[in-house]
């Protein structure tokens, strides 16, 4: 665990952003392929109904245990941690049985022509989730010991494998698209499991050979890992690792229970619109597929940039700040660095979010037209949805970073108290979603998300403000953009909106050119105001390159 935590967190965020870009590009191409090959109903069944089943099983069975096990991982008793993380396997199995029954027998039925494939799809998703949970012990170790590139490579192979299997089967058997989806889910889960266990079987064997021969370690893959506690691949399974203490860590169990409550609520908040669509048939499967396409398109920034930053910052803050100690009693260097990192993260995500809001109002139609052609923009609904998504994105960005910090430093009592507050947020969110959706249609989902995100942001800001009230640090200053940056954004918004009204009907290329000019001006002003931050990042990059060269 001698590796630099901040460095690995930044690397994890960087590689995750690249991975998310690749993954989303594949998804968008795949969605267009499905619509043109098998139709929108099939896309709605797979992307909304079946993937919602997958996310529900995985999130509820994996998220609480993984978050608890990542806390202060450098001081772990790994035998206890491995035993704990394996509890996710029986939990996912029980959840699968319950949820598959609900998905098949309780929820609104699919058309009779699709039902046999849909039923098989539910079982396939459940099996793939259990297989994926059996891989969590090695994934946890890989993340704790900063195998960042390994994670990205394996997940890329996993996504590509699933995509190629699906596309091949759909091209070969176009009427069996949902069956193709089912088979691709299972085979890709087996592939991911084999990759992780296969790598660590080789890695541990090689590491043991180095230790026995007492050779000088020249490979960076082994240099910092001579204290790696796993001596056999069997150590990744429960009960095989030597342990003088109790089988399970009581503190981690208590923390897991807190995260369970939080995860149930967070899952409802994250996938709330899909649950509303699934439980109450507000939209048809065809309408659901269009909403899903626009939703994914509108969430590009959130998925490409904000989510990897949130995940990596959570890991970073858990290693730098202790949950149960006041900041004044902790290492001043850690507190200072964490405060500065939080401030800079807030500045970056807020700036990106504001750019998305401003340019999204004038270029939603253009983006949708380029992606889906005239068919996708025949009505104004997709454009309106995407424009509203732009406002949701900046709220998602701020909430992701601030909540990552809050969850990383809250103690068990504070987490429990916040869980009750999240229950209120969840109930209000579902209520507002249902009401606004019946009044405004799909736009109601986005407005309900905006209300929910605003409430969560306000809570996080209050918590952070109170946490730093007796210190000299002001980490939330990064949320306030500079005057020059605001001026250029307002000017860009007005000019691009004028361009949309005047130039777009005549030439889309000219309209895009106007946007490119103002985007470059905006980027130039932001760069000039944050030159010290960019210079620091560049210096760290140069240092890293030079170290690799040496």
- At 509-538, the pLDDT tens digits run 999 999 999 999 999 998 888 777 777 666
> String of b and e for 444-461 (b: at least 16 CB within 10 Å)?
bbbbbbbbbbebbbebbb
Torsion sign over Cα 385, 389, 390, 392: positive
> What is the tens place of the pLDDT at every residue in 121-145?
999 999 999 999 999 989 888 887 7
Structure tokens belonging to residue 473: 């640090």
DSSP result, 343-412: HHHHHHHHHHHHHHHHHHHHHHHHHHHHHH-GGGGSSSHHHHHHHHHHHHHHHHHHHHHHHHHHHHH--H
- Report which of residues 214 and 288 the model is more confident about: 288
Residue 80: pLDDT over 60: yes
Torsion sign over Cα 458, 56, 54, 149: positive
**What DSSP designation does 247 have?**
S
Residue 17 confidence (pLDDT): 60
Name, in order, each residue with C-beta under 8 angstroms of 384's C-beta and a sequence gap of 6 or more: 443
- Report which of residues 203 and 548 the model is more confident about: 203
Collapsing DSSP states into helix, strand and coil, what is residue 38?
coil
Average pLDDT in the 107-113 region? 83
Residue 117 confidence (pLDDT): 93
> What is the tens place of the pLDDT at every residue in 313-329?
887 888 777 777 777 77
Residue 496: pLDDT over 90: yes
Residue 539 confidence (pLDDT): 65
Residue 544: pLDDT over 60: no
Residue 418: pLDDT over 90: no
- Report which of residues 492 and 530 the model is more confident about: 492
Residue 73 confidence (pLDDT): 55
Structure tokens belonging to residue 435: 């009401």
- Tokens 């403000």, residue? 465
Residue 1 confidence (pLDDT): 41
- Report which of residues 241 and 550 the model is more confident about: 241
CA 11 to chain centre: 16
Q: Are 437 and 272 in contact (CB under 8 A)?
A: no
CA 165 to chain centre: 24
- Report which of residues 98 and 68 the model is more confident about: 98
Pick from 185, 180, 166: which is nearest to 125 by CA?
Answer: 185
- Tokens 């990064």, residue? 478
Residue 254 confidence (pLDDT): 80
Q: Are 286 and 444 in contact (CB under 8 A)?
A: no
Structure confidence at residue 50 as a pLDDT band (50, 70, 90):
very high
> What is the tens place of the pLDDT at every residue in 367-401?
888 877 776 777 787 888 889 988 988 998 899 88
Residue 301 confidence (pLDDT): 62
Name, in order, each residue with C-beta under 8 angstroms of 40's C-beta and a sequence gap of 6 or more: 285, 286, 289, 290
- Report which of residues 216 and 278 the model is more confident about: 278
Q: Is the pTM of this model over 0.75?
A: no
- Report the distance separating Cα 346 and Cα 388, nearest Å: 22
Residue 218: pLDDT over 60: no
Number of neighbours of residue 176 by Cβ within 10 angstroms: 16
Average pLDDT in the 475-481 region? 84
Residue 189 confidence (pLDDT): 94
Pick from 386, 383, 429, 385: which is nearest to 276 by CA?
Answer: 429
Percent of the chain with pLDDT over 90: 21
Number of neighbours of residue 273 by Cβ within 10 angstroms: 25
- Report the distance separating Cα 10 and Cα 277, nearest Å: 37
> What is the tens place of the pLDDT at every residue in 175-212?
888 999 999 999 999 999 999 999 999 988 888 877 77
Structure confidence at residue 547 as a pLDDT band (50, 70, 90):
low
- Report the distance separating Cα 34 and Cα 372, nearest Å: 12
Instruction: Name the average pLDDT for the chain.
Output: 81
In the chain, DSSP finds a helix count (H) and a strand count (E) of 22, 0
Percent of the chain with pLDDT over 70: 83
- Report the distance separating Cα 64 and Cα 257, nearest Å: 7
- Report which of residues 227 and 90 the model is more confident about: 90
């Amino acid at each position: 665990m001698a590796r630099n935590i901040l460095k690995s967190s930044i690397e994890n965020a960087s590689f995750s952003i690249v991975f998310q870009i690749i993954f989303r590009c594949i998804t968008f191409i795949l969605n267009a392929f499905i619509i043109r090959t098998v139709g929108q109903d099939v896309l709605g069944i797979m992307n909304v109904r079946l993937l919602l089943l997958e996310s529900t099983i995985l999130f509820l069975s994996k998220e609480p245990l993984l978050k608890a096990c990542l806390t202060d991982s450098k001081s772990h008793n790994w035998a206890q941690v491995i035993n704990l993380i394996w509890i996710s396997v029986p939990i996912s199995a029980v959840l699968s049985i319950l949820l598959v029954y609900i998905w098949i027998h309780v929820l609104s039925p699919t058309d009779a022509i699709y039902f046999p494939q849909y039923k098989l799809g539910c079982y396939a998703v459940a099996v793939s989730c259990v297989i994926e949970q059996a891989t969590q012990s090695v994934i946890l170790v890989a993340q704790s010991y900063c195998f960042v590139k390994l994670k990205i490579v394996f997940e890329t192979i996993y996504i590509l494998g699933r995509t190629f299997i699906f596309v091949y089967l759909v091209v070969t058997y176009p009427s069996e698209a949902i069956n193709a989806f089912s088979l691709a889910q299972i085979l890709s889960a087996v592939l991911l499991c084999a990759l992780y266990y296969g790598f660590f079987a080789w890695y541990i064997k090689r590491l043991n050979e180095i230790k026995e021969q007492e050779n000088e370690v020249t490979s960076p893959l082994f240099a910092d890992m001579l204290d790696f506690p796993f001596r056999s691949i069997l150590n990744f399974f429960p009960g095989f690792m030597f342990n003088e203490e109790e089988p399970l860590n009581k503190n981690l169990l208590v923390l897991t229970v807190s995260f369970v409550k939080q995860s149930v609520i967070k899952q409802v908040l994250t996938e709330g619109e899909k649950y509303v669509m699934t439980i109450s048939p507000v939209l048809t499967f065809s309408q659901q597929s269009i909403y899903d396409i626009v939703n994914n398109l509108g969430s590009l920034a959130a998925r490409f940039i904000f989510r990897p930053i949130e995940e990596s910052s959570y890991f970073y803050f858990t290693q730098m700040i202790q949950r149960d100690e006041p900041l004044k009693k902790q290492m001043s260097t850690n507190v200072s660095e964490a405060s500065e990192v939080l401030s800079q993260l807030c500045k970056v995500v807020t700036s990106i979010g504001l750019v998305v809001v401003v340019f999204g109002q004038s270029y939603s139609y253009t983006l949708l037209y380029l992606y889906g052609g005239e068919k996708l923009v025949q009505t104004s609904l997709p454009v309106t949805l995407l424009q509203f998504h732009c406002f949701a994105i900046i709220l998602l960005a701020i909430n992701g970073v601030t909540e990552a910090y809050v969850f990383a430093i809250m103690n068990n009592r504070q987490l429990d108290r916040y869980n009750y507050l999240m229950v209120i947020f969840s109930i209000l969110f579902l209520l507002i979603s249902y009401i606004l959706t019946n009044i405004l249609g799909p736009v109601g989902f986005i407005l309900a998300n905006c209300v929910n995100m605003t409430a969560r942001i306000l809570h996080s800001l209050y918590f952070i403000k109170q946490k730093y009230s007796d210190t000299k640090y002001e980490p939330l200053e990064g949320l306030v953009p500079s005057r020059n940056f605001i001026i250029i954004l307002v000017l860009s918004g007005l000019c691009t909106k004028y361009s949309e009204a005047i130039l777009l009907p005549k030439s889309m290329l000219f309209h895009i050119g106007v946007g490119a000019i103002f985007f470059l001006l905006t980027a130039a002003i932001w760069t000039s105001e944050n030159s010290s931050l960019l210079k620091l990042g560049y210096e760290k990059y140069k240092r890293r390159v030079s170290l690799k060269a040496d």
